[in-house]
Structure 1
Amino acid sequence: MDLLPFAAAHAVTVAAWPTSAGEAVMWCGQKEFPLPARVITDWQRDEDVRAHVLMADERVVGYGELWLDAEEDEVELARIIVAPDSRGNGLGRVLVRELLARALAAGYSDVFMRVHPHNGTALRCYRAAGFAPVDTSLADRWNAAQPIDYVWLQHAVDAPRT
Structure 2
Amino acid sequence: MELRGFDDGYGVQVADWALNEKEVALLSGRVVYPFPEELRANWRTADADIHSYLLFDGERPVGYGEVWLDDEEDEVELARIIVDPKVRGRGIGGELVRALLGPALDAGYSEVFLRVRPENAPAIRAYHRSGFVDVPAALMEEWNDGQPVPYRWMRYAGEQVGVGELRG
Shared fold per TM-score greater than 0.5: yes
Determine the structure 2 residue equivalent to 1:14.
Answer: 14
Matched, 1:70 2:53: no
Determine the structure 2 residue equivalent to 1:112.
Answer: 113
Q: Deviations along 1:39-69, whole A, 9 cap, x unmatched?
A: 5733231221100000112011100000100
Determine the structure 1 residue equivalent to 2:160.
Answer: 160
Determine the structure 2 residue equivalent to 1:36.
Answer: 36
SS of the counterpart of 2:109? coil
Distance apart, 1:29 and its partner CA: 4.6
Whole-Å Cα distance in 1 between the matches of residues 122 and 30 of structure 2?
19
Q: Deviations along 1:68-122, whole A, 9 cap, x unmatched?
A: 0011110000010110111111111110001011111121230000111221111
Whole-Å Cα distance in 2 between the matches of residues 114 and 160 of structure 1?
19
Q: Which runs of 5+ in 2 are unaligned?
A: 163-168
RMSD of equivalent CA atoms: 1.8
Whole-Å Cα distance in 1 between the matches of residues 31 and 108 of structure 2?
34
Determine the structure 1 residue equivalent to 2:122.
Answer: 121
Moved more, 37-46 or 99-108: 37-46
Task: Tell me the matched-pair count.
Answer: 161
Whole-Å Cα distance in 2 between the matches of residues 36 and 86 of structure 1?
23
Amino acid at match of 2:113: F
Whole-Å Cα distance in 1 between the matches of residues 75 and 47 of structure 2?
16
SS of the counterpart of 1:41? coil
Determine the structure 1 residue equivalent to 2:145.
Answer: 144
Whole-Å Cα distance in 1 between the matches of residues 40 and 12 of structure 2?
10
Amino acid at match of 2:57: A
For the Cα contact (< 8 Å) 1:3–1:52, is it kept in 2?
A: yes
Distance apart, 1:27 and its partner CA: 6.0
SS of the counterpart of 2:42? helix
Matched, 1:79 2:65: no
Whole-Å Cα distance in 1 between the matches of residues 66 and 4 of structure 2?
11
SS of the counterpart of 1:160? coil
Whole-Å Cα distance in 1 between the matches of residues 108 and 78 of structure 2?
14
For the Cα contact (< 8 Å) 1:44–1:50, is it kept in 2?
A: no
Whole-Å Cα distance in 2 between the matches of residues 54 and 154 of structure 1?
22
Whole-Å Cα distance in 2 between the matches of residues 3 and 90 of structure 1?
15
Whole-Å Cα distance in 1 between the matches of residues 84 and 127 of structure 2?
17
Whole-Å Cα distance in 1 between the matches of residues 140 and 118 of structure 2?
12
SS of the counterpart of 2:93? helix
For the Cα contact (< 8 Å) 1:11–1:40, is it kept in 2?
A: yes
Percent identity, please.
45
